[in-house]
Amino acid sequence: MNLDKKNIQKLEALIADANKITLCTHQSPDADTIGSALALSNVLLQMGKQVKVVCPNTPPDFLDWMVGIDSILVHDKEGKEVYNAVVEADLLFAMDFNAPHRTANVEKAMLDSSAKKVLIDHHLFPEENYFDLMFSFPKKSSTCELLFEILDNSNFKKYLNVDIATNIFVGIMTDTGSFAYSCNEPSTFEIVAKLIRLGVNVKETHDIIFNNNTIERLRVLGLGINDKLKVFPDKKAAYISFSKEELSQFGDSEGLTEGIVNYGLSIKGICFAALLTEKGDKIKISFRSKKEFNVNAFARENFEGGGHFNAAGGKSFLSLKDTEKKLENLISNFKI
Ligand SMILES: [Mn+2]
């Protein structure tokens, strides 16, 4: 399983044979899953394919400028259309996730679909049995970087344009925290150089993502840092938690608390950070770490999640208080 010519030829053949192609993104979509899906959909549309991009839930507002975003079908709003788009497809793509259950409410459609399935992803442990063809590269900065490499080395190269390049750039930039982590390979920057040659404007794109906060996002960050941050210096750990009531004061829009987990990790000496948010009947948890602390394993073992070595997610069906207790208990046993 690697980016050899054979796999790229297989991909070219699968796409040539397909007419209806549906691209799936993961739950709580981020810029990497959306950027890669929209970039590939742009290529497929230029080829005259019938293309649909489906999302389990609404993409965050700060991505609403991305080219193609208005065409996305969101399961929370258009469940039937999403189900049909997945089941009736000849070819399905999993963009930036490793198993059907990562699409939550779209999982059933993915399991019901008899389409050929292709994985393009950088998460660990893909569900190999589900896919007909896999491009699984956990060492890549982002799915967007991987997708670019595939396109650039295939006969789809001729379709590359500034819109595709910008959507790909956004995924690489956000998955690396503006080129701060997961990007120690020269190839990431060689690809960025190619994206700039295709017309990406780095400053404009950075501004539109990072200097585009809503007041609510800043205020919830203020509450988080002022009142909600708990630090365990001896254990090199910190976390912030938000209850449903606290989030609803700020409108609880998609992406409201995006990135807040990183503030805990930005504290001197802290190697493990978590963000707990109460959503519906569960607690959603993000984990970040520095150095050798494996939050992918930590999330898998304790919070039904996973992800990457230094960035992962999980969930808990305990109350927020009990989830905090469980986390603090685990932290008390840290030997970082
Ligand atoms: Mn990603």
Ordered structural domains, the chain, with CATH: 5-210 (3.90.1640.10), 215-332 (3.10.310.30)
Whole-number pLDDT of residue 291 = 83
Q: What is the CA(332)–ligand 1 centre distance, in A?
A: 30
3-class DSSP state for residue 201?
A: coil
Q: What is the CA(331)–ligand 1 centre distance, in A?
A: 27
Give the global pTM: 0.86
Handedness of CA 14, 19, 20, 25 (dihedral sign): positive
- For residue 174, what are the contacts with CB-CB under 8 A and spacing of at least 6? 30, 31, 32, 142, 209
Residues with pLDDT less than 70, the chain: 1-2
The two three-digit tokens of residue 23, written as one number: 């691209």
Whole-number pLDDT of residue 321 = 98
Whole-number pLDDT of residue 143 = 98
Helices (H) and strands (E) in the chain, counts: 13, 12
The two three-digit tokens of residue 113, written as one number: 């679909």
Whole-number pLDDT of residue 252 = 84
Handedness of CA 320, 321, 327, 328 (dihedral sign): positive
Q: What is the CA(221)–ligand 1 centre distance, in A?
A: 23
Distance CA 92, CA 82 (A): 12
Whole-number pLDDT of residue 2 = 54
Please, what is the average pLDDT of the chain?
96
Whole-number pLDDT of residue 1 = 43
Which residues are registered as beta bridge partners of 312? 287, 307
3-class DSSP state for residue 287?
A: strand
Q: What is the CA(303)–ligand 1 centre distance, in A?
A: 20
Whole-number pLDDT of residue 272 = 98
Q: What is the CA(165)–ligand 1 centre distance, in A?
A: 16
Q: What is the CA(306)–ligand 1 centre distance, in A?
A: 13
